[in-house]
Structure 1
């Protein structure tokens, strides 16, 4: 199997003249994203693309477009038969099962070239709700779009590019979004907030961070969890499979409708988020995270007790009086 670090620099299309390169690649988007004035001469355009390893000069004086260049900046992925199946698919279903697909869309551009359009398209499919802000009625998405954006970017970055015939997929249901990418997670999902980040595709991930499509290394899940907490949504669920990873993001679920496992996962991730913020989880902070009133203190106390029993969290200071108890993740 091809190593991912090799895959990014393998040839997607070779023996190209400079004019062929600029016909195949959306180079104007590259210069926009890296905030470099667009050169007027083709030689300078090729120079910058070569420095980025988007293209490589061959021994015969012609050029190759790398897999990295094609995946990120293809005008059409169909120009590159070897990576065409890496395109991003979006499927919207009626209801909460896969019986009836309402819409299906395939992003045919490279990831960088098509990303903003993809996010706009997905945003248009998500349910909206009305809120009052400063006396003004506003329509907002039922999901924090910055979190959706981060999860999609993560799926692109962390996919196993060596898996043939498969690419990232986004499935939209009535009350959830499922984001699937080839390849199992490289880190323990229970330590996803605090573990040093690992990426299969270092060159691609470095470029995507530099052009602002995702957070700096290691801070993506912090942002996702924080945004879900602010919106009082469940923490996205991560499912590990042998050859792919699925992250499910849910719209609002009242506390009394959440499963016990969903409550425990939210409790644990709340403690993790507090820990990496140099803070502590308390009964009050967890209650407010769920949007519950002080009358629900006993329900939160029971949840904390269950999380302690399952070794998800532990007291920061076991000798503290129960009323003032603070909690940290079990690994802290």
Structure 2
């Protein structure tokens, strides 16, 4: 737990704020109170609540016995807040510490618990003021899906689609009272009917073909299949101009008809992986339905090819959302639709659907979902089905299901980037200590030259110990020997730093300068000149 312990010491030095809270919780901590603090921290933009730390400064670790079943605790927080709060369990010499990492609320939404939207007020938690809530809800502009369709009536909604919604909401909420509600009351409770009037959200989710044709013709999803990316005419086309709850399973079945299974064998290990993962495809279609701009006239397209799929929806990304930050920021364009889909468990209001898409692609060693081609007028999501590295599947198998269940989307992204030898972006780096402490990743080098590789045990498991040695690089003395040999071989003209960096391409400029200083202290080399123009000679 070395890296996390170091981070903990830094957090302990910080002052409490709306983003950082410490609690002793030596024996237990009330779950309702934890949930309130998580809601408040999320409403303030995200942060941490740390249990097992003394409240008064100078703080120290006192240990906590609270929340022994962390998976159950995390599930409870998701159920109450619709936010995925990750937990790090740190074994400190003075006791167990729990760090709850709370994400920020989605743009345009405040997190509610027990009838109030909580925030920090001095040392206490207080409900948000109406003025502050108004500013938050105004971040996204008006919600088209919550507006009234002036001429629509109950007769325009499909009863089978509503029954499908009722069953799913009943199963998700475990509230038996939903079974006996009238259709009007059910939709009123879901805020799909307002004062007896039908909202556009109700039409989009449950509308009949005739009703959508009259009132909202653009609420249509078109499925197309082409046998090759070069093919202009499609081999199959299906137009779904009806409420989403009437066709959401049928469109997946269309995709699955031509969902080739990819077969891999490696010794005793056998995998059969579908080209298109059901979770990923369903999430991509759900996102298109929930977040497209229904004020624009175009249809949503689902275009399937043998190894690729494109989901194209009208309207660019919501304000503040880009392909670069889509994993870290969420903002539902059609909040009423997103809330209804969350009620029946189809999506999480916190926007975790995109996270799930990335996680599932990484678990199957497929390329990440791409948003290339998106602009101010459309969002394009491209899913590629090729399994890139079957060995990575074995690596994940060795990590184990239990450990993987505790990993965040950030953890999976880091593992995939390390496996592909790509740099780790700044917003992911805070999770590296977690992976190091779990023995999945190793830290190599010092200072600015630090890098991370997959841990030795997994290369041994894969029978690729030589690859591990190559990726880790040579030890310090061997590196010094190689530098010294190059300097000896070029004793007449001398060796510049630039060419010495070519001798050890895995080392940074700073690391090589450090090795040269050691050789100089040992009396084996000396330099003539200063800075980058210096020449190195053997003594």
Q: TM-score, normalised by structure 2?
A: 0.45
Q: Which residue of 1 aligns with 2:322?
A: 188
CA contact (8 A) 1:25 1:74 kept: no
> Matched residue pairs, number?
280
Say whether 1:112 aligns with 2:245: yes
Change (3 A) 1:56 1:270: same
Aligned to 1:238: 371
**Displacement after TM superposition at 1:86 (Å):** 1.5
Equivalent of residue 164 in structure 2, options 9, 29, 34 = 29
Measured against aligned partners, the alpha-carbon deviations of 1:25-76 in whole angstroms (never above 9, x if no partner) come to 7321221121155438xxx22122123232344xxxxx53221101011243
Matched, 1:47 2:185: yes
Contact 2:205–2:245, Cα closer than 8 Å, also in 1:
yes
**How much is the aligned-residue C-alpha RMSD, in angstroms?**
4.0
For the pair 1:283 / 2:453, whether they are aligned, the reply is yes
Contact 2:259 2:274 in 1 (8 A): yes
- Matched-pair contact (CA < 8 Å) for 2:157–2:203: no
1:299 Cα deviation from its structure 2 partner: 9.4
- What's 2:22 paired with? none
Give per-residue Cα distances to partners, 1:102-127, cap 9 Å, x unaligned. 11112233113321222222222322
Using CA pairs below 8 Å that are at least 6 residues apart, which structure has the higher relative contact order?
Answer: 1
Change (3 A) 1:52 1:4: farther
Aligned counterparts, 1:131-150, within 5 A: 140-150=273-283
- Ranges in structure 1 where 5+ consecutive residues have no aligned partner: 58-62, 256-262, 302-317, 320-332
CA gap 1:292/1:172 in 2 versus in 1, 3 angstroms: farther
- 1:225–1:273 contact (8 Å) kept in structure 2: no
Counterpart position of 1:97: 230
Q: What residue ranges of structure 2 are gaps of 5+ in the alignment?
A: 1-139, 171-175, 390-416, 442-451, 473-509, 512-539
Q: Does 1:227 align with 2:360?
A: yes
Q: Distance in 2 between matches of 1:294 and 1:136?
A: 19
Structure 1 274/145 Cα, relative in aligned 2: closer, same or farther at 3 Å? farther
Structure 1 residue 8 and structure 2 residue 134: aligned? no
Compute the displacement of 1:203 (Å): 1.1
Tell whether the 8 Å contact from 2:212 to 2:242 is kept in structure 1 after alignment. Answer: no
1:177 to 282, 296, 309: 309
Tell me the equivalent position of 2:259. Answer: 126
